[in-house]
Structures are given as C-alpha cells and as structure tokens.
C-alpha cells in the first residue's frame, strides 16, 4: 500500500505545468512550477518544514514549545501544519494589508494571530517585524523563526525546489522567474540551478519580480538602499522595505517591477484564461515574465514559480467590488 505517514510527507514534488494562453506571444516554452499542490497550498511549506527540522536538531525549538513568526500568511500555514503534527503551539504576527482569508485560515488550523498596522516603519514598535521579535523574547519556551534571515529558508529550496526543477526540465531550463519576498526561493533555487548549469557547461538566468514600493530592484542595480523607494503597496507576498539576509543578490541576474494594478489583473487572467486559480504574486510573476519578453529566444525553457492559491484572495483580487474600489477595473 502506498500512503504518506502524515501530511508533511506530501510536501514537494509539485508538477511543472505549461502556460498556453497568456504566453502565446513569447517565442519560448514557459512552464510553471505549481506550488499550490503542497498541502498548505504554497511554496512556503518547504521552508517551514526545513526551518523547524533544523531548529529541533540544534535545540532552538524544544518539545512543547511555541513557534512565533511574522508572516504574510503562507509561511504561517506551513509552520502550523508542521506544528500540529509535531506538537507545538503557534503565534503568528501579520500586517493588516493581508487578506482576511489568510488570517481566518491560520486561526482555522489552531494558530493565534496578532494583526499589526502595515503603514509603519520596520523599526516601529507596532510593526509586524518588531512585534514578532518582541513576542519571541517574552514568551517562555518559544522560538522566533525569522524567515527573512533564517538560512534554513534558502537551504530548503536548494535541497528540494531547485533539484526538482532541474530534473523535471532534464537540465534544459534557461531562465527562472519568481517573485522575491524573503528571498529564500530565488536564492536557494537560483544557487542550485547555477551550480548544475556550470557543471553541465550551460547557463541559467535568474530573474526576480519586484513591486513598486519595494527596495530590491534599485538596490540590486546600484547598491543603494533608497528609502525614497519605500511606500505602501497592495501586492502581497513580494517586495520588502528591508534587505533580508536570504536575498542573495549575487545569484540574481536582474529584477523587473510590476504595478499593483497589473498584478491584480493578471491574477484574474490566470484563473479565467489558463484555469490557474492562484494568488496575487502569481499575477505579478506572469506579468513580470511578459515584461522580460526581449530576453527570451525560441530555444529557451523558462520556468516561473507560482507561490500560492487563489482561495486566499477571494475577497480581494477575485472580488469585482474590491477591484473597482482600488481603481484596477472600470
């Protein structure tokens, strides 16, 4: 009989799915790494499990402990699933721009959720960075995950996501495109793919998708952390107003920025034209890929990673009233 011992054993080995409609004007083959097939419906399940395993191994996370993390929702879901199986409590801190669905889903799997204001500086005592760090210091027998700077985040993708993509494309991948938030996915996958390409005598370009209001693109191009780049934005899960240690800028060949409006519209288009019911960052990723069109040739194999599931955005990008209120549709 074939079965998984628990839900955590179903993490990974997600399929590659060809895009057909939105990419019809591109000369290359475009494949999506479809991460919603993970049990928590996002790519973050991979690094959540790795971060917990490594923290258990070196004693940072002890039996009966409380896992504390600031999350936009998906990392929290991955951590919560692992915590249920392994017997930990969870407290998650979220910014108030995240969808209600994400907050409700985390509470549904038994986590305590603390909601903080979005429009404050990262160093502000009310920010979700500051609150999660403080709770980690104040809570007995707790472990503050810190996915932004935790090397196990990047490690998870070097050990699982990257090898899967290389194997699934039989080493023919020429470009990897992905939204950048904590940096773990792009850095881990990018490092692995570039290592394998060097061994094979080929090249792989790594492209990051950024959003307006985030510092990544300018910092990558100039080395300047420009606070004038920072302002509130709607797109969820990508971009930052800090420089996480997990973003390995040396692995990334370039960034393109996608507007909130385009990200929202293309999230809807993926559902209606490709049958791909995905999250907000997928809309940003596919629009960003289209913006990079001149970088692709007919022989290229481009893999774009789709982070999470559309069910977390039903009240936002998939709600016409919300889209009108934000000026994204007439």
14-34 exposure pattern, b = at least 16 Cβ within 10 A, e = fewer: beebebeebbeebebbbbbbb
Give the H/E segment covering residue 105: helix 100-108
Give CA–CA dist 23/289, Å, rounded.
9
Q: Are 108 and 80 in contact (CB under 8 A)?
A: no
What's 26's DSSP letter?
Answer: S
Residue 85: both structure tokens together:
């199986």
Q: Active site includes 44? A: yes
Please give the Cα distance from 234 to 316 (Å, whole number).
10
Instruction: Give φ, ψ of 202 to 5 degrees.
Output: -120, -175
CA distance 114 to 66: 14
Provide the 10 A C-beta neighbour count for residue 211: 28
Catalytic residue among 18, 33, 44, 97: 44
Q: Give the burial class of 64: count Cβ atoms within 10 A of its Cβ; 0-12 exposed, 13-18 middle, 19 or more buried.
A: exposed
Q: What CA–CA distance (Å, rounded) separates 200 from 195?
A: 9
Q: CA 26, CA 296: separation in Å to the nearest integer?
A: 8
Q: Which residues contact 260 (CB under 8 A, 6 or more apart)?
A: 211, 212, 233, 234, 235, 326, 328
> Which residues are marked as active site?
44
């Amino acid at each position: 009989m074939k079965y998984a011992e628990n839900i955590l054993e179903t993490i990974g080995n997600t399929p590659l799915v060809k895009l057909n409609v939105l990419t019809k004007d591109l000369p290359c083959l475009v494949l999506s790494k479809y991460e919603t097939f993970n049990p928590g419906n996002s790519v973050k399940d991979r690094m959540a499990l790795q971060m917990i395993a490594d923290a258990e191994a070196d004693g940072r996370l002890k039996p009966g402990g409380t896992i504390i993390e600031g999350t936009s929702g998906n990392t929290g879901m991955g951590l919560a699933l692992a915590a249920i199986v392994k017997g930990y409590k969870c407290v998650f801190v979220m910014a108030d721009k995240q969808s209600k669905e994400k907050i409700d889903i985390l509470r549904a799997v038994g986590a305590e959720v603390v909601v903080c204001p979005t429009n404050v500086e990262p160093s502000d005592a009310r920010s979700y960075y500051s609150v999660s760090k403080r709770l980690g210091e104040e809570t007995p027998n707790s472990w503050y995950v810190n996915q932004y700077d935790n090397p196990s985040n990047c490690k998870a993708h070097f050990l699982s996501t990257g090898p899967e993509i290389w194997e699934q494309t039989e080493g023919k991948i020429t470009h990897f495109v992905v939204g950048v938030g904590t940096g773990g996915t792009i850095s881990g996958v990018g490092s692995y793919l570039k290592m394998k390409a060097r061994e094979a005598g080929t090249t792989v370009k790594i492209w990051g998708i950024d959003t307006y209001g985030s510092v990544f693109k300018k910092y990558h191009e100039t080395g300047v952390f420009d606070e004038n780049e920072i302002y509130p934005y709607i797109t969820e899960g990508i971009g930052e107003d800090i420089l996480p240690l997990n973003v390995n800028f040396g692995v990334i060949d370039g960034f393109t920025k996608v507007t909130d409006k385009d990200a929202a519209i293309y999230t809807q288009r993926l559902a209606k034209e490709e049958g791909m019911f995905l999250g907000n960052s997928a809309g940003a990723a596919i629009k960003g890929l289209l913006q990079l069109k001149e970088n692709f040739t007919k022989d290229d194999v481009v893999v774009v990673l789709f982070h999470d599931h559309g069910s977390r955005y039903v009240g936002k990008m998939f709600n016409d009233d919300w889209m009108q209120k934000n000026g994204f549709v007439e």
